[in-house]
Amino acid sequence: MLTLDNLDKVYRTGTFGTSDLHAVRQVSLDVQRGEVVSLIGESGSGKSTIGKMVLHLLDSSGGTMTFDGRDVTKLGFRARREYYRKVQGVFQDPFSSFNPIYKVDRTFETLRRSYFPRVTGSEWRSRLDDALAAVTLEPDDILGKFPHQLSGGQLQRLLIARALLLDIELLVADEIISMLDASTRIDVLNLLGELKGRGLGILFVTHDLSLGNYVSDRVVILYKGRVVERGETSAVFDDPLHPYTRDLLASVPHLDRTWDEVEAEEAERTQRLAGRCLYHEAITAQGRSLGEEADAADGVPDGVGLVEYAPGHFVGCFRKAAEEKCPAAT
C-alpha cells in the first residue's frame, strides 16, 4: 500500500542557510493493509519527520513515496486533497488539534463541507453516529461541547472518528497516547487493534518500545535519521542485532526478569557480536569487499544500506554514526 524508497529530508540551517541538517537519511519501508508498522527511536531520530512527509506536511528532499502503486512524492493541491481521503494523521497533543473557541461539532462540519457537500443532514448524522460508535463514543456525550470539556482520550478518539468518516486506508499515529493516562492508553491501543482488523494500515510513531511491542506487526528502528534495523516485531525484540537496538531494549525495565538477568543476557550477546558487523559480514559473503566500496556497489552511502541477516530481519552497519569506524573494517 504505502512504500517509502530512500526517502530523505534535509533542512537548511545556519547563517543564510549555509549548512545542512540531515534529519532523515534514505529511509525505506512499507506498510500494508491490515498491519501496524512502528517507527521506534529516541527523540531526534526522525520518526515524526517521516510521519509528516507521509502526510505531506513536509516536503521530502529526495527519494520516492508511492501509495497504491502511484507516485505521491510530490502532490499538487487537488491531488493532495484526494490523497487525504485515504491517508490521515492523529498527533501527540489532541488539544492542539481543536480550536478552543469552537465546539467539536465544527470539526465534523468542516469535513462535511469539504468532502461531502451533497450528503443530506440526516444521512450525515447517521454516518457521524456510526463513526463515533466505532471509537466507543456516545454522540450525546460529545457533540455540542467545547474541547476543554472533554478528556484527552475522548479528543484523541474524536480525531480517529474524523479519519474514519473519510473511509481512510492508512492512519499515521504520531505518539498518540504519550499524553494520555494509563487507563485511557489501553483503550486507544485496543481501538487501533480493532481498526487494523478491519483492514486499516497504521504507521505507529513512538519512542516507547513496550507500546511498539504491544501493537506492532513489524518495527523499524531509527537512529539519527537512519534505519538501523527492521523486521517482524518478535524477531527484532527477541534477537536484537544492531548495538543501538540492543541499547534501547536494555534500557527498558522488565517485569519478568531481574536487572542482573538482563545484564547477563546483554553481556552474552555483546560478547557474541564483539568486533563484528553483521551488515558487512553479509555483503562480504555475497562477494563484495568491506567499507565504502561495498556500499557504493549498492548505490547507497556507507552505513545506510540494510541486509537480510535472517528471513524478514534486516540490519544495517554496526556503526552508530557516520563519523564512527565500522568494527568490521578495522
* Nearest one of 74, 94, 233 to 160, comparing CA atoms: 94
Of 269 and 190, the one with more pLDDT: 190
Q: What was the pLDDT predicted at 208? A: 82
- Residue 41: inside a domain, yes or no? yes
- Residue 199: inside a domain, yes or no? yes
Q: How many domains does the chain have?
A: 1
Of 266 and 230, the one with more pLDDT: 230
Q: What was the pLDDT predicted at 64? A: 92
Three cell numbers written together for 249: 531494549
- Residue 241: inside a domain, yes or no? no
pLDDT digits (tens, 9 = 90+) for 27-51: 999 999 999 999 998 888 889 999 9
pLDDT digits (tens, 9 = 90+) for 64-102: 999 998 999 888 888 888 899 899 888 888 788 888 899
CATH number reported for the structural domain that contains residue 199 in this entry: 3.40.50.300
- Residue 50: inside a domain, yes or no? yes
- Residue 123: inside a domain, yes or no? no
Confidence at 274, pLDDT banded by 50, 70, 90: low
Of 56 and 95, the one with more pLDDT: 56
pLDDT digits (tens, 9 = 90+) for 134-167: 888 888 888 889 999 988 888 888 888 888 888 8
Q: What was the pLDDT predicted at 286? A: 61
Q: What was the pLDDT predicted at 273? A: 65
Confidence at 3, pLDDT banded by 50, 70, 90: very high
Evaluate whether 4 touches 29 at the Cβ level (below 8 Å).
yes
Q: What was the pLDDT predicted at 2? A: 93
Confidence at 293, pLDDT banded by 50, 70, 90: very low
Q: What was the pLDDT predicted at 218? A: 95
C-alpha dihedral over 117, 119, 122, 125, to 10 degrees? -70
Q: What was the pLDDT predicted at 290? A: 42
Q: How many CA atoms lie within 13 A of 110 on its CB side?
A: 10
Evaluate whether 27 touches 203 at the Cβ level (below 8 Å).
no
- Residue 18: inside a domain, yes or no? yes
Helices (H) then strands (E): counts for the chain: 13, 12
Neighbours of 240 (CB within 10 A): 21
Q: Which pTM does this prediction carry?
A: 0.82
- Residue 120: inside a domain, yes or no? no
Provide the residue range defining the domain that includes 6: 2-86+168-235
| Mean per-residue pLDDT over the chain, rounded | 82
Q: What was the pLDDT predicted at 221? A: 93
- Residue 9: inside a domain, yes or no? yes
Cα-based angle 270, 211, 172 (whole degrees, multiple of 5): 115
Residue 118 in 3-state DSSP?
coil
Q: What was the pLDDT predicted at 39? A: 93
Of 304 and 293, the one with more pLDDT: 304
